[in-house]
Structure 1
Amino acid sequence: MGSSRLPVLGMLVWVLHFVLMRPEVTMYILVYVDDIILVSSSVAATNRLVLALSSDFAVKDLGKLHYFLGLEVTYPQDGLALSQQKYSQDLLRRAGMLECKAATTPMSSTETISATDGTLLSADGATDYRSLVGALQYLTITRPDISYAVNRVCQYLHAPREPHLTAVKRILRYAIHGDIFVFFGPNLIAWSARKQATVSRSSTEAEYKAVADATAELIWVVDAILTY
């Protein structure tokens, strides 16, 4: 048994986790408030545990996991995929940056930031800064490409200044990209990260647009392979 604190949208939440490892079964359980995620190598063991819990608590089996603490889960043929599309949209909305212009990189290659340059943020501004940085830390679960930039802005949590906030906003502007990856077997042959041309009113609409863009890219790649 253990516990973890996760900075979900800048708020620290406690998640309890339990691990059972025996020769016949391996089981992992995550508990957050009244939500439970159960991963097990044995369907029979899973059913026995759910039945045992039902004898003491009101338990409802919701089937396969689809959403938990900002993580969206889908099930392609070869496993499962995690994304944080809705989480990133909520983060941009909270920062008032839904209409912002996208950045092509998470950090500037020409500008540097330090602990002493620029004006100190106000007390409220510093609180907002720490909250945004904490939320970005959680976003690195599915966006490892922003890990270095997030680590840099984490270094100024004790006394954030205007240039540090500008750097955080650049990371957010980069995070709005819609990423497309095309594989030929195990090899990545095409990749794109760009802002969608129109503003989506929901994460579902944004996902449909991303699928359409990916389909167009895939058609072009297939045509290029067949041609050459």
Structure 2
Amino acid sequence: MHVLIFVDDLLICGNNNHMLQKFKDYLSRCFSMKDLGKLKYFLGLEVSQGREGFFVSQRKYTLDIVSETGNLGCKPAATPLEQGHQLANPKLDSPVLANPRQYRRLVGRLIYLCHTRPELSYAVHILTQFMQVPKEAHWDAALRVVRYLKGSIGQGILLKSDPDLSLTIYCDADWSSCPASRRSLSAYVVMLGGSPISWKTKKQDTVSHSSAEAEYRAMSDALKQIKWLRRLLEGLGIKQPGPSRFFCDSKAAIHIAANPVFHERTKHVENDCHTVRDAVKAKTIETIHVTTHSQVAGILTKALGRAKFEVIVQVGFE
């Protein structure tokens, strides 16, 4: 039995109905508590159960965002951001936004929406960089994200009823993509069986001298997440019998992780990145090469069903 507590809201789950009821009766004697039954709504997350598994969405939360910004009657956008946007360009020719509070509020709500909308990770990553002094172009880009939401209000994540509970991770990097700092972009998505459970897009802390270094840093960031998830699942009684499959489209980064001979050529890579090689030796992960676009798109679309992961492959991973 496991209990998730957030202030005065409790989420209880387990595989023994008698023990669950006994525990709820005990809490009722100790506190003034109301049993709301099976999970349907929790902290803005809407949960529906079926034979295929749990479908988690934030439909009402998304509808509130669209309504609050006055876009209920707008034409939906095809993607969260335009391709080839120049939002991070320091020479962006756009006046400063007169009311930055509305921008910060909207972007803050989009950050929380990313809990069930992985395809927004890249767009939100871009928009959050201008919270201090947003420009009108940034506000227009945030409204484009809202227009995209208008066409996909009920979209969410399907957590499948799958006996396969092995961890699989896909990671990639966009070398020197930030025009202001020339830092690279890291991105990853973690699958538990056939269900996505963790994803992130983040600008790297330092400038990479090569694309291989950028890919290796992305692998290092993804490795930290996979290690934490393995410990978390072990605490929940789910042990990973073998190494987690680690998909990367850079053969150079995979060779560096597997072969210490390459270290003489990669001294510009920081030492902490070599934890990836140690994880390969310890069989925590198993690195696997994957093609950049078509194969990733096919795998993710097949695995995630309703989620429009072509947006991630098209915008976030490029």
What are the superposed Cα offsets for residues 96-115 of structure 1, whole Å, 9 maximum, x if unpaired? 11111111111111331135
Counterpart of 2:67 (choices 84, 89, 93) is 93
Q: Which runs of 5+ in 2 are unaligned?
A: 157-193, 195-300, 309-318
Identity %: 34
- Please give the secondary structure, in 2, of the residue aligned with 1:106: coil
What are the superposed Cα offsets for residues 85-104 of structure 1, whole Å, 9 maximum, x if unpaired? 11110111111111111111
Counterpart-to-counterpart distance in 2, 1:87 and 1:41: 31
| 1:119 correspondence with 2:233 | no
- Please give the secondary structure, in 1, of the residue aligned with 2:38: coil
Counterpart-to-counterpart distance in 1, 2:27 and 2:67: 38
Q: Find runs of 4+ consecutive structure 1 residues off by over 4 angstroms.
A: 189-193
Which residue type is aligned with residue 168 of structure 1?
A
Which residue type is aligned with residue 92 of structure 1?
V
CA shift for structure 1 position 155: 0.6
Do the aligned partners of 1:27 and 1:41 also contact (CA within 8 Å) in 2? Answer: no
CA shift for structure 1 position 66: 0.7
| 1:31 correspondence with 2:16 | no
Counterpart in the other structure of 2:246:
none
- Please give the secondary structure, in 1, of the residue aligned with 2:23: helix
Distance 1:180 1:51, change over 3 A: closer
Residue pairs, 1:121-140, within 5 angstroms: 121-122=97-98, 125-140=99-114
Counterpart in the other structure of 1:74:
48
Distance 1:103 1:79, change over 3 A: same
CA shift for structure 1 position 42: 3.2
Deviates more, 1:51-60 or 1:139-148: 51-60
Counterpart of 1:188 (choices 302, 310, 317) is 302
TM-score by length of 2: 0.46
- Please give the secondary structure, in 2, of the residue aligned with 1:188: helix
| 1:48 correspondence with 2:22 | yes
What are the superposed Cα offsets for residues 42-73 of structure 1, whole Å, 9 maximum, x if unpaired? 32332232112111222221110111222111
Distance 1:30 1:191, change over 3 A: closer
CA shift for structure 1 position 163: 0.7
Size of the aligned set, in residue pairs, is 161
Distance 1:107 1:56, change over 3 A: same
CA shift for structure 1 position 128: 1.0
TM-score by length of 1: 0.63
RMSD of aligned residue pairs (Cα, Å): 2.6
Counterpart-to-counterpart distance in 2, 1:62 and 1:77: 22
CA shift for structure 1 position 116: 5.4
What are the superposed Cα offsets for residues 172-213 of structure 1, whole Å, 9 maximum, x if unpaired? 1111223789xxxx88398797xxxxxxxxxxxxxxxxxxxx
CA shift for structure 1 position 39: 2.2
Counterpart-to-counterpart distance in 1, 2:155 and 2:26: 44
Do the aligned partners of 1:72 and 1:83 also contact (CA within 8 Å) in 2? Answer: yes
| 1:145 correspondence with 2:119 | yes
Do the aligned partners of 1:71 and 1:84 also contact (CA within 8 Å) in 2? Answer: yes
Distance 1:113 1:107, change over 3 A: same
Distance 1:111 1:78, change over 3 A: closer
- Please give the secondary structure, in 2, of the residue aligned with 1:52: helix
Do the aligned partners of 2:104 and 2:131 also contact (CA within 8 Å) in 1? Answer: yes
Q: Which runs of 5+ in 1 are unaligned?
A: 1-25, 194-228
Which residue type is aligned with residue 115 of structure 2?
I
Counterpart-to-counterpart distance in 2, 1:39 and 1:141: 20
